[in-house]
């Protein structure tokens, strides 16, 4: 039987950790964002920037060669390392000390990328957030799910979730199936939608922020970056997911009087993240 908890500001304040006055970038966590392919480097730019804007001390992007100049130009604060191949990722190798990795956004599903993803998950022990094509690759290779570290966070939208767990006939049925899936593979499932449910075994956390302005390209990529950034800072992975979803929605709610529903874009979600954090800190 699932236990439900509505996540409002009071619940978030129980989990939110302000940054220490003595902090420096070396203690704020180093996150790696792996993704991108020809024509979809923007997803990595959005996720990497959101990751930094969530408080991670260092962010590196791992991208195919064609994405190098784009990420360096779009987000100069982010370090970039590249795959050997030009248009998509064919192998994933790096020598970094990391606290969290976000993988899958804009990555595509080329057979070579699937192979690289398999070798990566087989060897990886770092806290992991998987989105988009990382999830699509897992849907095609469900036997790889058992290779993921315990409490890996997956962030599917409805279509991606359906590819993983099959169809459902009601919200209750979706939650039941996602709960079974979370328990079977020991994963934290962020079932994105309106509202988003974070499902961690028998616990179901219903988010209370966000609005239809988020129905725009790249808003999920931003969420992946936020959650990865929080995980890199050492939040318990369930809390990173819950807090990330809340802040992502809060940024969209705070932006609304300025942008309206129509003109809000994913970059606005990143731009308003600061005000979302401030709404927790009571700093004017
Ligand atoms: N600027 C960029 O580089 C962008 C890259 N993106 C990347 O593009 C790739 C494809 O992602 P997509 O999500 O478009 O492809 P998908 O094929 O996974 O999902 C889109 C399909 O799912 C359907 N759908 C049904 N319910 C939905 C729901 N609740 N939310 C979202 N879609 C729902 C849509 O109608 C559409 O047919 C990913 O790698 C993603 O990261 C996108 O994030 C968009 C922005
Ligand atoms: N109508 C809505 N109300 C609230 N949140 C929404 C709405 N539509 C989309 N979102 C949110 O926007 C994000 C969309 O993610 P996703 O579909 O992966 O986008 P993309 O792949 O383009 O980055 C999710 O966090 C989802 O919950
Ligand atoms: Mg997405």
Q: How many CB atoms lie within 10 A of CB 235?
A: 23
Residue 194 labelled as part of a binding site:
yes
pLDDT score for 48: 98
User: What's the Cα-to-Cα distance from 272 to each of 144, 212, 222, rounded to whole Å?
Assistant: 37, 16, 12
Q: How many residues does the chain have?
A: 284
pLDDT of 82 reads 98
Q: Is 157 in the pocket of ligand 2 (CB under 6 A)?
A: yes
* Confidence class for position 2, pLDDT limits 50, 70, 90: confident
Atom of ligand 2 nearest to the CA of 131: 18
Three-state DSSP class for residue 193: coil
The closest-lying atom of ligand 1 relative to the alpha carbon of residue 131 is 41
**Sheet hosting strand 203-207, strand order edge to edge:** 3-7, 203-207, 197-200, 187-191, 152-154, 128-130, 100-103, 30-34, 58-63, 79-82
**Residue 102 annotated as binding site:** no
Domain extent at residue 189: 3-281
How many beta carbons lie within 10 A of that of residue 68, not counting itself?
A: 18
CA distance 145 to 32: 21
Query: Tokens standing for 209?
Result: 């922020």
218 lines ligand 2 (CB under 6 A): yes
Confidence bin at 246 (pLDDT 50/70/90): very high
H-run or E-run covering 184: helix 171-185
Distance of alpha carbon 48 from alpha carbon 221, whole angstroms: 9
Per-residue pLDDT at 250 exceeds 80? yes
Domain count, the chain: 1
pLDDT tens digits, 121-161: 999 999 999 999 999 999 999 999 999 999 999 999 999 99
pLDDT for the residue 283: 55
d(CA 180, CA 200) in angstroms, rounded, equals 10
* pLDDT tens digits for range 197-234: 999 999 999 999 999 999 999 999 999 999 999 999 99
CA distance 245 to 278: 16
- Here the tokens at position 18 are 């302000």
For 125-149, give one letter per residue: b (16+ CB within 10 A) or e. Answer: ebbbbbbbbbbbbbbeeeeebebbe
Residue from 36, 38, 43, 129 to probe ligand 1 pocket by mutation (most atoms less than 8 Å from CB)? 43
Handedness of CA 147, 47, 260, 255 (dihedral sign): positive
How much is the average pLDDT of 162-176? 98
221 lines ligand 2 (CB under 6 A): yes
Q: What is the pLDDT of residues 16-51, one digit of tens each?
A: 999 999 999 999 999 999 999 999 999 999 999 999
- At 63-115, the pLDDT tens digits run 999 999 999 999 999 999 999 999 999 999 999 999 999 999 999 999 999 99
CATH number of the domain within which 272 lies: 3.40.1190.20
Q: What is the pLDDT of residue 284?
A: 46
- Best residue for ligand 1 mutational test, from 157, 194, 221, 225 (most atoms within 8 Å of Cβ): 157
């Amino acid at each position: 039987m699932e236990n439900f908890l509505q996540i409002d500001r009071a619940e978030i304040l129980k989990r939110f950790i302000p940054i220490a006055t003595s902090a420096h970038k070396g203690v704020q966590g180093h996150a790696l964002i792996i993704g991108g392919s020809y024509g979809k480097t923007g997803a990595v730019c959005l996720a990497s920037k959101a990751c930094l804007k969530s408080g991670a001390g260092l962010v590196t992007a791992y991208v195919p060669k064609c994405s190098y100049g784009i990420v360096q130009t779009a987000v100069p604060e982010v370090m970039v390392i590249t795959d050997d191949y030009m248009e998509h990722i064919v192998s994933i190798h790096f020598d970094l000390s990391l606290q969290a990795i976000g993988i899958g956004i804009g990555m595509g599903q080329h057979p070579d990328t699937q192979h690289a993803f398999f070798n990566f998950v087989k060897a990886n022990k770092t806290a992991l957030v998987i989105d988009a094509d990382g999830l699509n690759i897992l849907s095609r290779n469900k036997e790889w799910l058992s290779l993921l570290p315990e409490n890996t966070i997956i962030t599917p939208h409805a279509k991606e979730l359906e590819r993983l767990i099959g169809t459902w006939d009601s919200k209750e049925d979706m939650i039941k199936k996602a709960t079974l899936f979370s328990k079977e593979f020991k994963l934290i499932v962020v079932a994105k939608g309106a509202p988003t449910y974070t499902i961690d075994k028998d616990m179901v956390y219903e988010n209370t922020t966000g609005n239809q302005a988020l129905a725009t390209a790249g808003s999920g990529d931003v969420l992946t970056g936020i959650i990865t950034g929080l995980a890199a800072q050492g939040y318990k992975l369930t809390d990173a997911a819950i807090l990330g979803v809340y802040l992502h929605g809060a940024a969209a709610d705070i932006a609304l009087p300025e942008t309206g529903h129509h003109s809000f874009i994913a970059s606005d979600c990143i731009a308003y993240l600061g005000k979302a954090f401030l709404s927790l800190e009571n700093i004017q």
